[in-house]
Amino acid sequence: MKSGAQILIESLKKENVEIMFGYPGGQVLPIFDELYDSPIKFILTRHEQGAAHAADGYARATGKPGVCLATSGPGATNLVTGIANAFMDSVPMIAITGQVKTFLIGNDAFQEADITGITRPITKHNYLVKNVDDLARVIKEAFYIATTGRPGPVLIDVPSDVQMAKTKFSYPEKVDIRGYNPVYEGHINQIKKAAHLISESKKPVIYAGGGVVISGAYKELAELAQKNNIPVTTTLLGLGVFDSMSPLSLGMLGMHGTAYANHSVMESDLIIAIGARFDDRVTGKLDEFAKHAKIIHIDIDPSSVSKNVKVDVPIVGDAKLILTQLNKYVEKPDTKKWLENVEEWKKKHPLLYKNDNKLRPQYVIEEIYNATKGEAIICTEVGQNQMWAAQWYKYSKPRTFISSGGLGTMGFGFPAAIGAQLGKPNKIVFDIAGDGSIQMNIQELATAVANKLPIKVAILNNCYLGMVRQWQELFYKKRYAHTFIGGEYCPNLVKVAESYGAEGISVTKKEEVRAAIKKALSINDKPVFIDFKIEKEENVFPMVPAGEAINKMIGGLA
């Protein structure tokens, strides 16, 4: 006979969980008591939101499911942003929450919240376990659901009396869920149709997203592109799935994508979408989007297909399996002239910034790229820092760019970097942050210091909530309502780092950038904050104004 808490930990071990992130509390004491002498490494964050994002970052860096644990009520609700974030970006996550005792549920008991009700629309599935006999099966199902098909977070709510109740433990070998049978193999006729369209096309573009990362379809994607001379653009979450140094690479598309990616997509006669979902930040004005293009859409989630744009050839299934088949049937189209067009756009509208003697954020990112030779894992916060990190670091390997895409969660990057560093201890991990975002989960400095994690946080400090300020500048007559957070409104971030026992470096001049990055890279036993005091009103360009067609870009030098 084992208690629910013992069953939980034993089940996690059966699922090869090596690490989990969380925070204790009244309704998870039996579980924490089991963790006391368990081989599972437990990372105590300083806020439950940090635990959820760290589990998310761990999952994105390693491909393994991330596990987080919190108590009932506020512990559980503090996970909510992290769960929603993982849901939007299809990240496999198991969130375990304590709950008040079964007989108290519904009584407004102390620290009670209906977390299964709250998280229903932001989880792939969730469970309230009322009987200890169900616990092992539920955990087995939860891991299966979280990691298969289109991955996503699954929450398991376990009342504390269930954690204490005893039963015989046997971990199920198989799962049997009659309502859940993800399709992996693409339909062969659809694949042949797609191959035919590609072979016939004159101006094809591959549009690759996060699904390629999840499926691990990099080689197959590279083969499709290189063998057939098809240019490749990626979404934000797709950065790294295709070598950005390749002449076929167009970089990122969409609102802050490259002009040449957007022009290519708009002028194309065939879009091959792979593991991407035609998000509004990518398509801009839908009626104008790639009017002359036929669309092939490869995705494991049928509900993503034909949701935003009408698709000519949908192929539901796993990208890697489908591309393997597709590569057998495609006959090389003649894209010589098309690639010349693309090359012209690249020459005419390169990604640019004013590289003068001022301290500009783009330069900082370029120097981080140079210093790390493109080998680092780059996490980002959300806003201008995120877009500069996307534009100016050259990604060539999958799982090296970790960013909150769908939900756009400020405060994600730093705890995600903690998860990524723990999952990939031999990698250099950077968090590209803004002065706004870093303050949203700055308490996780304690977690990073306690675990001796050498994360480098590059704070692009412009004294503003920069992306909102940029919109206010461009669309609200420079009325900077509540976006200034500098001067006396901003703490000394170097001292903040130092007070936690981390390293702090202040950079105010361009010529100090290289040395600061070099110093940060030499520190390997604690986190480093580098506070780059960048140009205050630098904007992210090019930019497609909200609701415009994506070839109607505005912006400075680009």
**What residues line the site for another protein (CB under 8 A)?**
116-117, 120-121, 124-125, 128, 145, 177-180, 301-303, 305-307
> CB of residue 286 vs another protein: minimum separation in angstroms?
12
CB of 315 or CB of 377, closer to another protein: 315
> CB of residue 115 vs another protein: minimum separation in angstroms?
12
Q: What is the 3-state secondary structure (H, E, C) of 446-479?
A: HHHHHCCCCCEEEEEECCECHHHHHHHHHHCCCC
Residues 367, 369, 372, 376: is their CA dihedral positive or negative?
Answer: positive
CB of 117 or CB of 556, closer to another protein: 117
Q: Distance between CA 532 and CA 460 in Å, rounded?
A: 5
CB of 178 or CB of 336, closer to another protein: 178
Question: Measuring CA to CA, which residue among 403, 406, 404, 408 is closest to residue 393?
Answer: 403
Distances (CA, A) of 370 to 89, 168, 173: 29, 57, 48
> CB of residue 412 vs another protein: minimum separation in angstroms?
22
Question: Measuring CA to CA, which residue among 264, 125, 296 is closest to residue 197?
Answer: 296
Q: Distance between CA 48 and CA 54 in Å, rounded?
A: 10
> CB of residue 179 vs another protein: minimum separation in angstroms?
4
CB of 203 or CB of 277, closer to another protein: 277
> CB of residue 77 vs another protein: minimum separation in angstroms?
17
> CB of residue 94 vs another protein: minimum separation in angstroms?
15
Name the DSSP letter for residue 549. B
Beta-carbon contacts of residue 257 (< 8 Å; ≥ 6 apart)? 233, 251, 282, 542, 550
Pairing relation of β-strands 503-507 and 528-533?
parallel
- Residue recorded with tokens 């009700």: 117
Q: Distance between CA 83 and CA 384 in Å, rounded?
A: 23
> CB of residue 53 vs another protein: minimum separation in angstroms?
23
Question: Measuring CA to CA, which residue among 403, 398, 458, 468 is closest to residue 430?
Answer: 458
Helix axes of 48-62 and 74-88: crossing angle, nearest 10 degrees: 30
First to last CA, the chain: 67
Segments of 343-384 assigned E as strands: 377-380
CB of 120 or CB of 514, closer to another protein: 120
CB of 39 or CB of 179, closer to another protein: 179
CB of 114 or CB of 537, closer to another protein: 114
47 and 59 Cβ atoms separated by less than 8 Å: no
With 0-12 / 13-18 / 19 or more C-beta atoms within 10 angstroms meaning exposed / middle / buried, residue 110 is exposed
Residues 522, 526, 527, 530: is their CA dihedral positive or negative?
Answer: negative
CB of 152 or CB of 504, closer to another protein: 152
> CB of residue 149 vs another protein: minimum separation in angstroms?
9
Question: Residue 19, SS3?
Answer: strand
State CA 103 to chain mean position distance: 39
With 0-12 / 13-18 / 19 or more C-beta atoms within 10 angstroms meaning exposed / middle / buried, residue 332 is exposed
> CB of residue 125 vs another protein: minimum separation in angstroms?
4
79 and 48 Cβ atoms separated by less than 8 Å: yes
CB of 126 or CB of 391, closer to another protein: 126
> CB of residue 121 vs another protein: minimum separation in angstroms?
5
CB of 200 or CB of 280, closer to another protein: 280
271 and 296 Cβ atoms separated by less than 8 Å: yes
> CB of residue 287 vs another protein: minimum separation in angstroms?
14
CB of 118 or CB of 521, closer to another protein: 118
> CB of residue 117 vs another protein: minimum separation in angstroms?
7
> CB of residue 107 vs another protein: minimum separation in angstroms?
17
> CB of residue 12 vs another protein: minimum separation in angstroms?
21
CB of 89 or CB of 267, closer to another protein: 89
432 and 413 Cβ atoms separated by less than 8 Å: yes
Helix axes of 319-329 and 218-228: crossing angle, nearest 10 degrees: 30
Name the DSSP letter for residue 384. H
CB of 302 or CB of 501, closer to another protein: 302
CB of 175 or CB of 339, closer to another protein: 175
